[in-house]
């Protein structure tokens, strides 16, 4: 299975660690290299990476990684990289016509999350989001993480500030091409985000969730999260 990595934004909250977020090194290895390695360990055999900010630099480095690791990485440029992340995902529409994984360039996750999500599969014409029901988890800032309300395996609502929620968005999705239809509809309504598309899919009855259980993940989007990720790497809880 192929994996799409959203890597177009500036990542200003982590600017003190480096000028180009996907290439910031954590324990000597760049974030995007760790994302690629973890996805491969979870069963991914090829990648699409959407770039934007300082695209030339990132695309060159991705080419080096692809050659060194002998893994295909299709590089896609999003000229509207300053908009929300759903615009980056939609930029890949012309390249993908089958089920695919979607993840972020700054989310470090246990490879078993990828593997379990692939093995669980998804219904035709739906999108499944990997969610964490441990909402007391100190690894991720409850004021910053995206919140999710679900009932059974159905996603009901998703957003940063929703009050009624019972799990967190891990940033890992198993998509069918219906994701692109939902992104188009969400953007027509004025919401460029992936979460906006998931809310559209929820309206359509096509949004699902997958429980990651006790598996570890962290969104490395600010210095505090970076420090937590370093500790997880030191303790062998992430790779």
Q: pLDDT tens digits for 131-161?
A: 999 998 778 777 889 999 999 999 999 999 9
- What span, in angstroms and rounded, lies between the C-alpha atoms of 236 and 239? 7
- What span, in angstroms and rounded, lies between the C-alpha atoms of 190 and 222? 27
28 Cβ contact partners less than 8 Å away, ≥ 6 residues apart = none
The closest alpha carbon to 49, from 59, 39, 37, 38, belongs to 59
Q: Looking at residues 119-140, what average pLDDT do you find? A: 92
Q: Are strands 107-109 and 207-211 parallel, antiparallel or unpaired?
A: unpaired
pTM of full prediction above 0.85 = yes
In CATH, what number is assigned to the domain containing residue 135? 3.90.550.10
Please say whether the beta carbons of 155 and 162 come within 8 A. Answer: no
The confidence score (pLDDT) of residue 121 equals: 93
- What span, in angstroms and rounded, lies between the C-alpha atoms of 6 and 48? 9
Please say whether the beta carbons of 86 and 192 come within 8 A. Answer: yes
Domain count, the chain: 1
Reply yes or no on whether the pLDDT at 30 is more than 90. yes
Establish if 239 belongs to a structural domain. no
The closest alpha carbon to 198, from 100, 126, 122, belongs to 126
Establish if 226 belongs to a structural domain. yes
Establish if 62 belongs to a structural domain. yes
Mean of the per-residue pLDDT values for the chain? Answer: 95
The confidence score (pLDDT) of residue 137 equals: 76
Please say whether the beta carbons of 22 and 32 come within 8 A. Answer: yes
Residue 64 burial (CB count, 10 A):
12
Q: Domain of 40?
A: 2-234
Establish if 122 belongs to a structural domain. yes
Establish if 77 belongs to a structural domain. yes
């Amino acid at each position: 299975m192929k994996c799409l990595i959203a890597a177009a934004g500036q990542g200003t909250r982590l600017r003190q660690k480096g000028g180009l977020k996907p290439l910031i090194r954590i324990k000597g290895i760049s974030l995007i290299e760790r994302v690629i390695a973890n996805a491969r360990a979870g069963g991914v055999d090829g990648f699409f990476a959407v770039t934007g900010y300082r695209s030339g630099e990132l695309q060159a480095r991705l080419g080096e990684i692809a050659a060194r690791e002998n893994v295909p990485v299709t590089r896609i440029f999003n000229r509207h990289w300053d908009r929300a992340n759903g615009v980056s995902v939609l930029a890949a529409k012309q390249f993908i016509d089958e089920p695919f994984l979607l993840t972020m360039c700054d989310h470090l996750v246990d490879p078993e999350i990828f593997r379990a999500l692939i093995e669980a599969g998804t219904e035709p014409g739906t999108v499944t989001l990997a969610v964490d029901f441990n909402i007391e988890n100190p690894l991720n800032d409850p004021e910053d993480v995206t919140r999710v309300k679900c009932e059974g395996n159905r996603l009901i609502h998703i957003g940063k500030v929703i009050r009624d929620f019972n799990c967190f968005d891990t940033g890992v999705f198993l998509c069918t091409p219906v994701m692109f239809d939902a992104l188009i509809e969400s953007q027509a309504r004025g919401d460029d985000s992936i979460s906006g598309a998931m809310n559209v899919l929820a309206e359509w009855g096509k949004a699902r969730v997958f429980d990651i259980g006790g598996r570890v993940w962290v969104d490395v989007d600010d210095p505090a999260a970076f420090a937590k990720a370093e500790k997880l790497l030191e303790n062998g809880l992430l790779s």
